[in-house]
Amino acid sequence: MNTIATDTANNKDDYAALAGGHHGDPFSVLGVHQAGGSRIIRTLQPHAERVEIIDSQGTLLAETARVHPDGIFAAVMPPRLRHYRLRLTTTVGDTLEIEDPYRFPTTLGDLDLYLFGEGSDKQIYAKLGAQLRTVSGISGTRFAVWAPNASRVSVIGDFNDWDGRRHAMRLHPANGLWEIFIPGVGSGEKYKFELLDHKGHLLPLKNDPFGHYHEPPPGNASIVFASKYQWSDYPWMQRRTAGPELDRPISIYEVHLGSWRRRTEGGDRYLSYRELADELVDYVSDMGFTHMELLPVSEHPFDGSWGYQPIGMYAPTQRFGNPDDFRYFVDRCHAAGIGVIVDWVPAHFPRDEHGLRRFDGTAIYEHEDPRKGEHADWGTLIFNFGRREVINYLIGSALYWIDEFHVDALRVDAVASMLYLDYSREDGEWVPNEFGGNENLEAVAFLKRLNTELHAHGATTYAEESTAWPGVSRPVDQGGLGFTFKWNMGWMNDTLSYMGEDPVHRKHHHDKMTFGLVYAFNENFVLPLSHDEVVHGKRSLLGRMPGDEWQRFANLRAYLTSMYAHPGKKLLFMGSELAPYDEWSHDRSLDWHLLDYAPHRGVQSLVRDLNALYRSTPALYEIDFTDAGFEWIDWGDRDNSVLSWLRRDASGNFVICVSNMTPVVRHDFRMGVPGGGRYRELLTTDDVRYGGSGVLNGDLEASNTGMHGREFSIAMSLPALATIIVGPVS
């Protein structure tokens, strides 16, 4: 019996397993292996009629023999030959030359494997997924994926006719990583992973958890992508290394990219990242916002989730372009002096079969126990924060957005749902922690590590957290969770509730406007008027305001200005500056036509002027997070529904803020002030430019008439349903 025949007899079972697509260790059979005194080349080419071994010049080195009817070929390797290629003649008569992926060694080094096993690889996004590589002078793509309980994993795509037998991957059993280098596969190739579970059953095809780009529906394949983008924001990035500056003005414009503006001439299509880089960035710059916050741009299958059910944590959504188009958008923001915040969702993920759910046939990203692993409210699954590979996946995603896309900050969604094991659960529907409590200790540890890592990269973090959990925005080394900022949901709920009251009843709800100052300095707060407040029947901000048409607009103007004068950074959802009548819908453009009407233009002009005044007045932002920056003048005038207070900067400079929340003009209204001299109205929401009635104050001279416990006071006219800001004349 000759060498090939003997080898075939010895490997009969392996050949059957390879041809059947259920061999778990193809590298032990395919490629070059010692067999007796010879080296044997074996290759699986189901679509080939004939396979030849050739050198790099195309010279024939050896003919192969078909050793299995389903396309396994073998040949004795010529002496001293190290490198070879394959020349295939297909069953339809085509000829092509290819590299054999099974002749290449692993491209994951010992350090890569160690860091992954430890869960501490900060650049895991450059190791797993699809990475363009050149190995031994040959260009191709290295694919790697974590699937510890799979019995076989393959890469499939157009390059192998979506045949899972042809590029079965190499397993690193110590940590459950599968990888293969496939020569000739380049940027733009679509691919998926085909997996068999531990029993050998075929699973639904999966896209790449670390994929950088995905195809649009109805397909859901991942796409090999290599960035060619050249950044131009070096000065911005150098300044960012200093980290968060709490004493700077932060005025955030929250945006859903798919509905800010659409192209009606293109069938109501989305604007692309590059179109948004011009139109949206110019608009935000003109309006004077310091930052833009994007509702999640991670790839997601369902438009109606607004991105909050992500399935591609390492991929900007293809809806608006490719990853380099998104890089251009961020670059353009930085050139305009606008910081970029991205909503990021590590709390849960959807059940779509092509995503993370039971990725290798078991719950590796989620919990097996539904009492720990499911959000019934949202129909989603919860990440297993106790598994180091999952933590590495999530923190790697966060760092990917910061490092690769130059995003300045992440706003972490649904933090409360992560902190509490019994979040939105009844008794018996949750599992206590090891101490019997309801705190998710693993999630707490994750959030602390996340914030530590992001701050080390010069990034800022925002928590959407609605409970009284202590120290959300306090440093980790001081016992806090480590976020830079926390959304002040209590302020938002209380003040919107107050503004919804008929002014005649507001005196009975006065505390809703003052209670927030009891805890205003416990955290580094952002005051959010976000997308969540203008959907699901809550009505638009204008729609919440009581009274006739004029009063509704006046209420809105007074409310927005009181927010800018209140301690805390600012956030306004897109379109709110247009004062729309209708709720926001992700399926259509904002109501830009409203700017044809003066009341709506007035609100937009007010927001623009508020941003300008805010940014130029340190007293409105410099000491947001200690009581040194705020002082009540009179918080108790509930009968008149008037509130007055001071804001100070670090040098002691101040402005006076007054809100009259009734439709009554109050002439000769006397108010205590810190000192004598002249005062000047810096802004009033009753200005006719904004749609007001024009009750204005000229220069105001302080008298030594005592008021509100102060030696000096000024008398002014308080317009109806208005907020005014007054400053001393130097």
Q: Considering 121, 254, 413, 494, which one is annotated as catalytic?
A: 413
Does the annotation count 429 as an active-site position?
no
Distance (Å, rounded) from C-alpha 564 to C-alpha 338? 19
Helices (H), 200-336: 234-240, 273-287, 323-335
Distance (Å, rounded) from C-alpha 163 to C-alpha 21? 9
- Which DSSP string do the residues of 427-491 spell out, in sequence order? TTSS---TTS-SB-HHHHHHHHHHHHHHHHTT-EEEE---S--TTTTS-GGGTS---SEEE-HHH
Instruction: Give the helix/strand (H/E) hosting 16.
Output: helix 12-20
* Both structure tokens of 59: 């010279």
Distance (Å, rounded) from C-alpha 281 to C-alpha 636? 42
- Which DSSP string do the residues of 500-548 spell out, in sequence order? TS-GGGGGGGTHHHHTHHHHTTSS-EEEEE-GGGGSTTS--HHHH--SS
Name the residue type at position 117.
G
- Reading across the β-sheet that carries 31-35, which strands appear in turn? 31-35, 38-44, 72-76, 65-68
DSSP, collapsed to helix, strand or coil, labels residue 76 as strand
- The answer to whether 685 and 557 are in contact (CB under 8 A) is yes
Q: Considering 194, 254, 331, 464, which one is annotated as catalytic?
A: 464
Cβ contacts of 34 within 8 Å, gap of 6 or more: 40
Burial 243-271 (b: 16+ CB within 10 A, else e): ebebeebbbbbbbbbbbbbbeeeeeeebb
Can you give 282-315 as a three-state secondary structure string?
A: HHHHHHCCCEEEECCCEECCCHHHCCCCCCEEEE
Cβ contacts of 453 within 8 Å, gap of 6 or more: 122, 395, 398, 399
Can you give 101-162 as a three-state secondary structure string?
A: HHHCCCCCCHHHHHHHHHCCCCCHHHCCEEEEEEECCEEEEEEEEECCCCCEEEEEEHHHCC
Does the annotation count 464 as an active-site position?
yes
Q: What is the DSSP letter of 30?
A: S
- The answer to whether 129 and 397 are in contact (CB under 8 A) is no
Active site positions, annotated: 413, 464
